[in-house]
């Protein structure tokens, strides 16, 4: 998962035209960009705005904003060994906004035993939040992102999923109160999303409808055969993860396509794909 997440960060930085990472220049000027990209372009004008976004997206942060130092966490370093490249360099400690899928069990692992990254890899991992997708699930969240062995397929799938579909169906609203921005997130998903599997199925359901309406279904399914989805859900120091291979994604999408071809059972004018939901839920459980 670490390498796949890193690839998303590297892709985002290349698309932003950022090749060389320097603490005094590139990071200073661009460290708010991944946060803004994750919100689909909501205004993020300061570190305090970025902290508010991270809280809205349920990142595990200290309770006090004064203890969250995003820029400092990416630039204030010490000598050590990078957990990713294994080289002796200037390193920073992992934080939830750098690589959010590490969980430290306080009673077992000391801070020295956590992941540490050189400044270059820390900023690349941090930048991967630009292509991290979040769906509220009850009192928790579902997070997912994509990877594909050929980067060209990842870029093509990302363009369709994020730049077109997600931009239209996922909204972040900013409201200023007492001089401080507050952010709220919402996703236009017609189906139940109280369990992570249901949430991901709901996302795919809306994605298929989106592709069908724009006559982009066939080409996207062909690209999606190599795409892998990483799902992470939970909260605090307890979370679960699963990887859904491209073949399973293709079967899930194929099930939804067949369902639409056979016609939909309607109740009060709304689609109610219960049998298909159970079938796709079984595919997710078997993934």
Does the structure show a pLDDT above 90 at 84?
Answer: yes
Distance CA 242, CA 253 (A): 18
Binned at pLDDT 50, 70 and 90, residue 253 comes out as: confident
Instruction: Please check whether residue 94 is in contact with residue 118, taking contact to mean a CB–CB distance below 8 angstroms.
Output: no
Does the structure show a pLDDT above 80 at 287?
Answer: no
Confidence at residue 274, expressed as pLDDT on a 0 to 100 scale: 47
By C-alpha distance, which of 70, 127, 100, 109 is closest to 233? 100
- Two tokens, residue 2: 């670490």
Does the structure show a pLDDT above 50 at 173?
Answer: yes
User: What sign results for the dihedral spanned by CA atoms 270, 40, 163, 61?
Assistant: negative
Average pLDDT for 57-61: 91
Instruction: Please check whether residue 232 is in contact with residue 144, taking contact to mean a CB–CB distance below 8 angstroms.
Output: yes
Q: When comparing pLDDT for 286 and 35, which is higher?
A: 35
In the chain, what percentage of residues exceed pLDDT 90?
A: 49
Binned at pLDDT 50, 70 and 90, residue 278 comes out as: very low
Binned at pLDDT 50, 70 and 90, residue 230 comes out as: very high
Q: Which residues pair with 244 in a beta bridge?
A: 229
Confidence at residue 92, expressed as pLDDT on a 0 to 100 scale: 95
Average pLDDT for 77-101: 93
Q: Look at 66-70, 72-76, 237-241 and tell me which has the smallest mean pLDDT.
A: 237-241
What CA–CA distances, in Å, run from 153 to 46, 103, 224? 34, 30, 8
- pLDDT digit string, tens, across residues 21-33: 987 789 999 999 9
What CA–CA distances, in Å, run from 95 to 45, 145, 189? 21, 19, 30
Q: Which residues of 106-128 are buried (b: 16+ CB within 10 A; e: fewer)?
A: eeeeeeeeebbbbbbbbbbbbbb
Does the structure show a pLDDT above 70 at 283?
Answer: no
Does the structure show a pLDDT above 80 at 106?
Answer: no
Average pLDDT for 206-211: 89
- Burial (CB count within 10 angstroms: exposed 0-12, middle 13-18, buried 19+), residue 227: buried
CA atoms within 13 A on the CB side of 4: 18
Distance CA 284, CA 269 (A): 28
Instruction: Please check whether residue 119 is in contact with residue 23, taking contact to mean a CB–CB distance below 8 angstroms.
Output: yes
Confidence at residue 166, expressed as pLDDT on a 0 to 100 scale: 95
Confidence at residue 107, expressed as pLDDT on a 0 to 100 scale: 43
Q: Which residue has the tokens 């309406």?
A: 213
Q: Which residue has the tokens 């035209």?
A: 17
Average pLDDT for 189-197: 71
How wide is the angle at C-alpha 1 spanned by C-alphas 173 and 172, nearest 5°? 5
Confidence at residue 261, expressed as pLDDT on a 0 to 100 scale: 63
DSSP-derived secondary structure for 213-240: HTT-HHHHHHHHTT-EEEEEEEETTEEE
Provide the mean pLDDT of the chain. Answer: 84
Q: Look at 4-18, 44-58, 155-169, 216-230 and tell me which has the smallest mean pLDDT.
A: 216-230
In terms of phi and psi (left: phi > 0; alpha: psi -120 to 50; beta: otherwise), the region of 17 is left
In the chain, what percentage of residues exceed pLDDT 70?
A: 82
By C-alpha distance, which of 154, 77, 164 is closest to 122? 77
Distance CA 239, CA 231 (A): 10
Does the structure show a pLDDT above 70 at 103?
Answer: no
């Amino acid at each position: 998962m670490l390498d796949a997440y890193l690839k998303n960060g590297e892709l985002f930085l290349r698309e932003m035209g950022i090749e060389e990472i320097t603490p005094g220049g590139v990071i200073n000027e661009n460290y708010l960009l991944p946060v803004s990209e994750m919100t689909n372009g909501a205004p993020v004008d300061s570190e305090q705005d970025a902290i508010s976004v991270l809280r809205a997206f349920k990142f595990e942060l200290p309770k006090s904003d004064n203890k969250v130092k995003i820029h400092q966490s990416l630039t204030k370093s010490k000598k050590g060994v990078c957990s990713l490249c294994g080289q002796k360099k200037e390193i920073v400690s992992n934080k939830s906004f750098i690589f959010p899928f590490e969980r430290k069990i306080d009673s077992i692992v000391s801070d020295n035993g956590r992941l540490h990254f050189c400044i270059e890899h820390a900023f690349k991992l941090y930048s991967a939040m630009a292509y991290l997708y979040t769906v509220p699930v009850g009192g928790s969240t579902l997070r997912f992102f994509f990877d594909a062995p050929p980067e060209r397929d990842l870029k093509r799938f990302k363009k369709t999923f994020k730049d077109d579909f997600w931009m239209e169906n996922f909204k972040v609203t900013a409201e200023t109160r007492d001089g401080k921005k507050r952010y709220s997130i919402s996703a236009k998903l017609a189906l139940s999303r109280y369990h992570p599997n249901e949430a991901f199925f709901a996302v795919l359901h809306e994605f298929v409808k989106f592709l069908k309406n724009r006559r982009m279904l066939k080409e996207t399914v062909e690209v999606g055969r190599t795409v892998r989805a990483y799902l992470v859900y939970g909260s605090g120091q307890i979370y679960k993860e699963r990887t859904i291979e491209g073949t399973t994604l293709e079967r899930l999408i194929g099930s939804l396509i067949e369902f639409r071809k056979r016609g939909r059972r309607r109740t009060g004018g709304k689609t109610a794909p219960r049998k298909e939901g159970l079938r796709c839920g079984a595919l997710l459980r078997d993934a």
